[in-house]
């Protein structure tokens, strides 16, 4: 008997890598993931819809937008994006998730985007941890430490166990209901109720991506990023002499992010959210990889496909990197 079908492949794209302001060849930090026909967007600064178009992604498929916090470089692109979604004749409800007070900020921004043809559901985060089930995946939000209320997010694709015929027989489950149970359905048959756990083995390792930006290192990040397949973390400063500035402005250095990745035992880390004063993040990567070897200084458009693991290894497939070269940037 065949296994229950897995929806594999989580497509992850870091649309931009800049912090504070967009630069000529570095867009503001934002993340888009695609899974099972659903798209999730985390943050939407000025020009984010341009980055989405450059990748050839559909804005119509975005059903959830998560906001880490409500500073302008993370929300100011919402009016344009939502207008474009409306112009594309979207009518399905859109969910926006973010810290308490987010709704007031977003509604103020949308004064310039009246008459949207779809409903917006606002979910404001008030606790240190929230968990949602959305479109076949788990979304977790956890509080981090910035100058305003701020959250990190984990997207988790769960994976069912394998069908266990011996377990099914031991539980006296009729073969006629095996297929339905394998698909996750509960079945009533001849006066008895049969549940999937009566025929399925233990859940297998799924896929986990954790994203956080605009924060100091916190225990909540280490705990929530634990064993992530991909950890996308802010690295505002690469210069060793910017440690005090990172503390003052509630940001992180490359090296603090690397220590978090090491402590959380993640598989891979992408640094992002670079200061405009940091034109060439790559020059500091050797020091980062001394702390956590499997780290990169991500570039705009950095894309990866994550599949369920085979033989105890997650299949990382770096499908494409942007042609935007940091060396072409002119920053102050």
CB-based contacts of 56: which residues, under 8 Å, 6+ apart? none
Question: Is 328 in the active site?
Answer: no
Instruction: Report angle CA 258, 329, 52 to the nearest 5 degrees.
Output: 75
Residue 208 near residue 154 (C-beta atoms within 8 A): yes
CA Rg, the chain, in Å? 21
For residue 125, give the nearest of 108, 148, 102 by alpha carbon.
Answer: 102
- Measure the CA–CA gap between 24 and 150, rounded to whole angstroms: 27
For residue 15, give the nearest of 318, 302, 238 by alpha carbon.
Answer: 302
Q: How far apart are the first and last CA of the chain?
A: 63
- Tell me the backbone φ, ψ of residue 104, rounded to 5 degrees: -60, -40
For residue 72, give the nearest of 108, 100, 40 by alpha carbon.
Answer: 108
For residue 99, give the nearest of 32, 146, 41, 136 by alpha carbon.
Answer: 146
Residue 148 near residue 71 (C-beta atoms within 8 A): yes
> Of these residues, 73, 229, 300, 326, which one is catalytic?
73
Which residues carry out catalysis? Answer: 73
């Amino acid at each position: 008997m065949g296994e229950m079908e897995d929806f594999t492949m989580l497509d992850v794209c870091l649309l931009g890598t800049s912090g504070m302001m967009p630069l000529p060849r570095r867009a503001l930090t934002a993340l888009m993931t695609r899974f099972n026909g659903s798209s999730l967007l985390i943050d939407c600064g000025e020009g984010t819809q341009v980055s989405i178009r450059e990748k050839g992604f559909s804005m119509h498929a975005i059903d959830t937008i998560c906001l880490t916090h409500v500073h302008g470089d993370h929300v100011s692109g919402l009016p344009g994006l939502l207008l474009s979604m409306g112009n594309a004749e979207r009518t399905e409800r859109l969910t926006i998730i973010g810290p308490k007070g987010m709704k007031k900020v977003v509604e103020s921004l949308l004064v310039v985007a009246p008459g949207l043809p779809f409903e917006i559901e606002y979910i404001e985060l008030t606790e240190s941890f929230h968990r949602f089930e959305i479109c076949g995946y788990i979304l977790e939000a956890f509080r981090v430490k910035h100058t305003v209320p701020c959250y990190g997010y984990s997207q988790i694709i769960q994976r069912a166990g394998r069908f266990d015929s011996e377990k099914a027989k031991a539980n006296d489950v009729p073969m006629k209901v095996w297929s339905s149970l394998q698909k996750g359905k509960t079945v009533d048959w001849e006066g008895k109720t049969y549940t999937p756990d009566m025929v399925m083995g233990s859940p297998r390792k799924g896929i986990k991506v954790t994203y956080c930006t605009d924060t100091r290192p916190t225990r909540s990040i280490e705990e929530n990023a634990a064993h992530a397949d991909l950890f996308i973390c802010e690295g505002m400063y690469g210069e060793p002499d910017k440690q005090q500035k990172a503390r003052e402005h509630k940001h992180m250095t490359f090296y603090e992010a690397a220590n978090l990745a090491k402590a959380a035992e993640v598989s891979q880390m992408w640094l992002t959210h670079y200061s405009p004063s940091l034109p060439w993040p790559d020059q500091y990567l050797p020091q980062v990889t001394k702390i956590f070897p499997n780290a990169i200084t991500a570039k705009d458009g950095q894309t990866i496909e994550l599949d369920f693991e085979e033989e105890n290894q997650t299949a990382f497939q770096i499908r494409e990197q942007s042609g935007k070269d940091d060396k072409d940037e002119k920053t102050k």
